[in-house]
Chains A and B, each alone.
Chain A
């Protein structure tokens, strides 16, 4: 096994490079597209631009719409992360630490949330959000988003909390630390890896969400970036270089963020899949 034959090794490298090219080329075409003129984009969609033109990037970056969309998305995503992590870890702590009547039922109840996508309930969800007066309000996205991430977050956090050493709680309890105090002073600080995993997951989900903002937001100044990008495409339907530049500018932060947090994303993915 350990003797590496040359031919299979070459085949392997060729195959991997081919698949990698299939992944990278569309992204590369997107990044380069923004620097081309329309004519060149039409003639050589995948080539290096013969003359690098920065005008569309400058237009987008000096305009206010782009920054507004990004800011709105950031506010919504960060709020969803904080709210989900806080509520879910509190609930998970109770499930992991305290034995009480109905605990099992309540956990199964929360697990229901992992079984269906929120698109199934989007119609009544719209009216529910309307009833609370939260249409055209960031909270109209933050709260449902938090609610729909809750089940998954509680499951991950509970199984982590259960693995924390029991002796720790016993020792702290003897020293007069109550259940509430223990949560803030010990459980949370000891759980930073799993909190980061849950947080990153919720962030990516919220940042990329399209359907919910589409339904909730009507006011363009409140748009998140996926809505903004579709709006932008509607305005510049034939100017592909503009659209590609806009896409590049929005996916670049996501890709950078991903390279730094992929450890947590992968952890959440595999943990979730092992747990079922």
Chain B
């Protein structure tokens, strides 16, 4: 029985993954050729900048010459006291709430209506998902036309009623609502798709059993379907959190952070007050805070909601 020993690949042999083995079986060559490009690019353009941001945030620097003006936590102090920054944090919170109370329920209802595979359903899905594919910049421009007091909806209404048009984008109280509307408009289809995929994975005999037992369709949804897709809903909320923290492209064409800096997101705040004005240390500090918020909320949320559920 020499056959059995002759031609077994090393991977199948239960030997420790030692260096000597890797040299002989040729996997070392693959390792040396294949791994460095990805790891190197990732380190240079993702990991290095984030550590560099932590370092730069302790300096005051305008981008020219050497970085020497060490100011300790001064940038963070300024940031914590900055009322525009408070507003941008608050704006992210508003977006998150809109997402949880408007966008995700809407997406859920639509998913429940559309998850079965029929051609009409596919057409509706395609329509609802289309805004997700549009560039944020184009979306913002389209809606800045719709909301323009001289052209879009408001002009139309004003024409009909013979009243003065309402410049909502320039209205401090209402401008952020436009951003909420546009964000809901753009991303509800995305959440819907996640829910549809989850609903299609629900075993159909489970649903049928409930129906045979005489459960109404509302009860089937509440007691069978929703619990079965809870993990997808939780994940959707996670995406909504990280999404709300990093809105930028939509805000620039719509309000550009105005009027009087009332509609900034954290990223547009970072761009406007850190990068565009070359307050490098300050911008880096905003970046670090954003990083901490993203990683922190993602971790806590995952621990609290997702891991406990044990669905993933």
Contact = CB atoms under 8 A, between A and B. Distances in A.
Interface of A: 1, 12, 15-16, 19-20, 22-24, 26-27, 29-30, 33, 41-46, 86-88, 90-91, 93-94, 97-101, 106, 109-110, 112-113, 115-128, 143-144, 146-148, 150-151, 154, 166, 169-170, 173-174, 178-180, 183, 204, 207-208, 210-211, 215, 226, 229-230, 233, 240, 243-244, 247, 250-251, 254-255, 258-259, 262, 265-266, 269-270, 273-274, 276
A41 B95 CA distance: 31
B129 interface: yes
A128 B49 contact: yes
A173 B12 CA distance: 11
Contact of B151 (A127, A154, A169, A240): A240
Nearest to A38: B151
Enumerate the 8 nearest inter-chain pairs by beta-carbon distance, A residue then B residue, closest first.
A147-B45, A91-B38, A121-B49, A179-B30, A90-B34, A124-B52, A208-B135, A270-B197
Given A99-B17, A179-B29, A230 B37 contact: no
Contacts of A27: 130, 142
Given A88-B38, A110-B38, A148-B46, A262 B252 contact: no
Interface stretch (B77-85, B86-94, B282-290): B282-290
Contacts of A109: 39, 47
Contact of B9 (A41, A174, A259, A269): A174
A45 B156 CA distance: 7
Contacts of B152: 29, 45
A147 to B, nearest CB: 4
B143 A124 contact: no
Contact of B312 (A30, A112, A119, A276): A276
B257 interface: no
B253 interface: yes
Contacts of A29: 142, 145-146, 152
Contacts of A128: 44-45, 48-49, 52
Contacts of A229: 137-138, 141
Contact of B146 (A26, A90, A127, A169): A26
A211 B265 CA distance: 14
Interface residues of B, number: 98
A230 B159 CA distance: 29
Interface in B156-185: 156, 159, 185
A142 B16 CA distance: 39
B11 interface: yes
Chain A binding surface SS class: helix
Contacts of A150: 38, 41-42, 46
Chain B binding surface SS class: helix
A126 B275 contact: yes
Given A29-B152, A119-B270, A150-B46, 4 more contacts: A116-B295, A121-B291, A128-B52, A208-B249
Interface in B248-282: 248-249, 252-253, 267, 270-271, 274-275, 280
B155 interface: yes
Contacts of B148: 240
Given A42-B150, A98-B30, A247-B142, A115 B294 contact: yes
B41 A226 contact: no
B232 A24 contact: no
Nearest to A33: B145
A19 B128 contact: yes
Contacts of B30: 93-94, 97-98, 178-180, 183
Contacts of B274: 123
B306 A147 contact: no
Given A16-B124, A143-B45, A247-B142, A120 B38 contact: no
21 contacts: A16-B114, A42-B151, A93-B30, A94-B35, A98-B27, A100-B17, A100-B22, A100-B27, A101-B19, A106-B35, A116-B294, A121-B52, A122-B49, A122-B283, A123-B270, A179-B26, A180-B29, A210-B248, A211-B249, A230-B137, A251-B134
A90 B38 contact: yes
B127 interface: yes
Contacts of B206: none
